Chains A and B, each alone.
Chain A
Amino acid sequence: MIPSEFEYHKATSIQDAIAQLGAHEDSKLLAGGHSLLPMMKLRFAEPPHLIDINGIEELRGIRLEGDTICIGAMTTENELIESEILQQHCPLLVEAARLVADPQVRNRGTIGGDVAHGDPGNDHPAVMLALDATLVLHGPDGERQQSANGFFLGTYWNDLQEQEILVELRVPVIKKGVGHGYSKLKRKTGDYAVAGSPVVIELDGDVCRDIRIALTNVAPMAIRAEAAENILRGKVIDDALIEQAAAEVLAVCDPAEDLRGDVLYKSHMGAEMARRSIRAALQQARG
């Protein structure tokens, strides 16, 4: 299995990548290649030009700026796992990255590629929703910032514009009183989620000041379960409320039937993953 023919180009800077996207019609950026190359081998994608962005140093690395963690789009999953900044200030991302694929894939696959790709089975889009991340995008007209909330529009469909490149992902530092959870059901190590749910809860004393419940692989794209959030926001969360919220999660699930399960099973697993993550996040937020 080899991809159909294409021309290979190396981009040396973000500007160069944008210029090359403009110069070569129907070209695609090559990041870790662990979603794109498999699709090209299956001929689901046949871009005539690949623009390799692996050589662009400015797209790599993780830095702390005040209360914000800035993650370069070309940071690999294993670099996320090893990052002391993330271990200390945003363990949710470390936890999620540990559940992505396997060690070899994590050496190549990047957070930017995972977010930009558009497979509903990718873990990072929902994590970005739960963290209320900001995406930094560069295009021919310069930089724009876009909330993760609203970026994911459908399967292989997002708000990335032509000639745009995802440069950085910005997530807030998880502070005291804020808890998180990530539950992911997989058939085996290295598999995509049957269903997954990252949750972030902010407590004010015992009261839930804010909550974000996101879902992986139970809809055409990563989604937030807003009706479920509304049940819990402003309340002292107890088991009865969690059950009500889980019912709202179930209602919002719209998965595609495949070898991982049918619609009903996957929807119930989506609700169960949310239940578990809410409990974990709550426990953590209570400290």
Chain B
Amino acid sequence: MAKQHVSFNLNGKQVDALVEPRELLVHTIRETLSLTGTHIGCESSHCGACTVDLDGKSVKSCTVLSMQADGSELKTVEGLADAEGLHAVQQAFIQEHGLQCGFCTPGMLIRAYRFLQENPNPTEEEIRWGMSGNLCRCTGYQNIVKAVQTAAQTLQQA
């Protein structure tokens, strides 16, 4: 099938790619654009490791066609840190030991980044609900919840 041209803003830079219609966004990001922070866990829309921010919304990039990202604004975990250093959610995951093997972490971070904009001052229950699309096989979630709480405090103070 002939490849088609797509163009989108990825972490603040305009990028172009040639994609097959059946290509999934996560593959374009990882394989064509070489940003391997976004992980592939289940490939079946369950685990959230592939979460990216598409036009201001968290989506599972294993379940979006690259063609559908044409013209969009995309942010991946690589886009969180800036010249001033790590983003507050990244700092908080380090501080609270919000990761063990780290496989789920990119998805957790980019989801937490968006969730805290949707709900800047969440309760613990709201965090668990808001982060429920991301699975972790290591931490038992406790420290992930703490990290999101800590990041919320930092962001509120900023």
Contacts and interface: CB of A to CB of B under 8 A. Distances in A.
Interface of A: 1-8, 30, 33-34, 37-38, 40-41, 50, 52, 54, 78, 101-105, 107-108, 189-190
Contact of B65 (A4, A33, A101, A104): A33
Contacts of B48: 102, 104
Contacts of A1: 43-44
B23 A54 contact: no
A183 B129 CA distance: 18
Contacts of A33: 63-65, 68
Interface centre among A2, A8, A41 (most CB of B within 10 A): A8
Contact of A107 (B43, B59, B65, B68): B59
B contact residues, range: 20 to 34
B58 A104 contact: yes
Contacts of A104: 48, 51, 58-60, 111, 133
Contact of A189 (B4, B68, B132): B132
Contacts, number: 78
Given A38-B44, A102-B48, A104-B51, A6 B21 contact: yes
Nearest to A37: B63
Contact of B68 (A7, A40, A52): A52
B20 interface: yes
A102 B132 contact: yes
B132 A103 contact: yes
B150 interface: no
A69 to B, nearest CB: 24
B97 interface: no
B4 to A, nearest CB: 8
